[in-house]
Amino acid sequence: MNFGKALKTVRLIKGISQKEAAGLLHMDDRTLRDIEADKTRITAEQVEQFAGVYLVDITLIYDMAKEQVPLQNIVHEAKRDGIVVNQNQEIGKGLIEYLISRVETLETRIQQLEQN
């Protein structure tokens, strides 16, 4: 599993800078960069710490690490649907709103399929 990419994606979606995250996690910037680049392995306890800092359920991180949907794919899909995403900035509120709307759309489709 590649936890680094999953952790980076969650951090970006939450709108937390790498420097801010490193401070909240009580680690230096280089360590966090290495973790997000999958150059450093992390323990289950560290994954739990990240989940606590990012305020997400730990299973989300495990699921994302298994699925490995590249952030570029999410950004591309958002742009296709008219969301302005500047990849030189942290991905913020607009992308989160987009992802929520996509989830709601998929939930509606699932309900429609279940009714048929």
pLDDT score, position 99: 76
How far apart CA 85 and CA 3 sit, in angstroms, is 24
Q: For 80, list phi and psi in degrees, rounded to 5.
A: -60, -35
CATH code, 36: 1.10.260.40
Domain boundary among 28, 44, 67: 67
Query: Is residue 1 within 8 Å of residue 62, measured between CB atoms?
Result: yes
The predicted pLDDT at position 75 comes to 65
* Amino acid 73: pLDDT: 66
**What is the rounded CA–CA span in Å between residue 93 and residue 34?**
26
How many separate domains does the chain show?
A: 2
Q: How far apart are alpha carbons 29 and 76 in whole angstroms?
A: 28
Looking at the fold, whether 54 and 103 belong to one and the same domain comes out as: no
Are residues 89 and 62 located together in one domain of the fold?
no
Residue range(s) defining the domain that contains residue 48: 3-67
Looking at the structure, do residues 62 and 75 belong to the same domain, yes or no? no
Task: Per-residue pLDDT tens, the chain, 116 aa: give them.
Answer: 688 988 998 888 888 999 999 999 999 999 999 999 999 989 999 999 999 999 888 888 887 887 655 566 666 666 676 666 555 454 566 667 667 777 888 788 788 878 86
Q: Which of 54, 51, 50 is nearest to 40 (CA)?
A: 50
